[in-house]
Structure 1
């Protein structure tokens, strides 16, 4: 049985005193819908400022049995950004461009960065982010990673998964980790428990792939726009066990993305 909402709010106040959490129909009503026809009122909306705030929400919801939905710009067309539990709105505060490396042609951004904001910043250096969905003026990078967005130039630039270098995530049990083309590692290497839990998760992923090698090789990644389901083919040995790319398109069902390092293209 799910815990009362008041218990969740109190628990969050203990875990993250500065976290803003709103309840009641006036606050949660706008989050009951996205660009789809679905209407699912959440129990509360949280506005994280840091990855630690996200950890607090995930842990509190895990302990109280309340689901979590990560939300960017709310441009999803299949109910991807609505849920009955706690909605994490990244667009209000976690919307900073953390770094642009012109030489490496990469940018590190928080999940709530709007695509056009990133494009405006990178344009000063003659660079751009390839995927360009029609909602570019309001969709966030976190949302694009969630649904593996593409756009009008997808024939040339492909999907978002082809431009992700690394993802900073929070796992379902509230551990911060980094996923990239080499696998999965704890974001805080000095935290022995986090290192152990992330290592176990990586081992589980490798075992999953090892047990289903033939099926993954023959059924997944066969066509350029095959975006339905989990992209487990990125975890194949011949593809380098790229956990970051495998997480793209999972809609927050495997981990919550807090930040990402993405590859840029020349304008």
Structure 2
């Protein structure tokens, strides 16, 4: 483990690793259930020292930061400028900007602000073979200038352009057009219509291509007020069916809950207070609206409720403390459901599955059907196992059994 005190220290550490042919893993940290990372390597942990805000441009709504700064810490410093980073993963207390860039994080606020890739303007990066450079949008004039300068940087840009051109049709036609696609490399960022954006092509690459040394981010204005409305449905699949009707109202955040999550959180004393704010139902949507003031935010929420009519139950959460409790209950969901005390061992991961919003209800219904089939299969296997234990063994009747 290496904890660089400065960005230049990290560059020096990677130089040592390169000379000894040792793999490197740049760990942002805190973006997953346990901040886990993969690889047998020299791990660079940026969070201990490299967490400086180097500049903020209020007019352009941008900031240059080091990769080890945690999201909540950064947003606290940006608040005095009336700005914030848009994406907000559930681990916002501890997740670092470097980790968010590595994972292409999004979170509940993806409704309004998209994924992390949508907030990255430029990146200062270091390749394993020692090329240090700022990357971002690349127009034709800059591309020609890079090629004219020659060297390894020109070779890399030429290779990216050739890769893009060779697979242009497949990238345009086969990349799924869904709002929360975070898997794989962002090769679509290299297309002409996306301005050959090398920085955004690197977002989500999880330290497999470059080490991120600094990031210039596009920021969002801090809203004057928020309001949270919780919608209740008969079950979570019906709640999912309502998402395409909610989206046109442009919420700043939209998340789902089901009765199973609430039960598990109750078993771990995570959600007693939050559950008091849930309307009738067994599946819920948490919908947040923002506005210049409280009246404007509340008006958006009322318009949604009026549009949905009697098909839902609803409750407003006005108190900031109660709203915080609701979001904390939702954010604790992965920890509560990863290892349920009364069910089979599970593992986090499916929470990152992404489907088009208009197909979400059908997707959940199919998932529920598969779970029932698996449960039936497990019951049948368990019955066979019990017969093996309590029934005939080796041609002789087990004690106490006919």
State the TM-score, normalizing by the size of structure 2. Answer: 0.51
SS state at 1:206 partner? helix
1:113 aligns with 69
1:6 aligns with none
Q: Give 1 or 2: higher helix fraction.
A: 2
| Distance of aligned partners of 1:78 and 1:245 in 2 relative to their CA distance in 1, 3 Å threshold | farther
1:197 aligns with 152
1:146 aligns with 102
SS state at 2:59 partner? coil
2:90 aligns with 134
Superposition map of 1:1-267 within 5 A: 45-77=1-33, 81-182=37-138, 196-220=151-175, 222-267=177-222
Gaps of 5+ in 1: 1-44
SS state at 1:218 partner? helix
Distance 1:125 1:137 in 2: 20
| Distance of aligned partners of 1:221 and 1:238 in 2 relative to their CA distance in 1, 3 Å threshold | farther
Contact (CA 8 Å) 1:58, 1:173: kept in 2 or not? no
| Distance of aligned partners of 1:91 and 1:79 in 2 relative to their CA distance in 1, 3 Å threshold | closer
Contact (CA 8 Å) 2:31, 2:89: kept in 1 or not? no
Q: Deviations over 1:115-169 (max 9, x none)?
A: 1111001111111110011111111000000001111111111111001000011
4+ residue runs over 3 A deviation = 77-80
Deviates more, 1:170-179 or 1:256-265: 170-179
- Figure out how many residues of one structure are paired with residues of the other and give that number: 216
SS state at 1:47 partner? coil
Identify which of structures 1 and 2 has the higher relative contact order when contacts are C-alpha pairs closer than 8 Å and 6+ apart. 1
| Distance of aligned partners of 1:78 and 1:173 in 2 relative to their CA distance in 1, 3 Å threshold | farther
SS state at 2:32 partner? coil
State the TM-score, normalizing by the size of structure 1. Answer: 0.76
Q: Which has the larger radius of gyration?
A: 2
SS state at 1:257 partner? strand
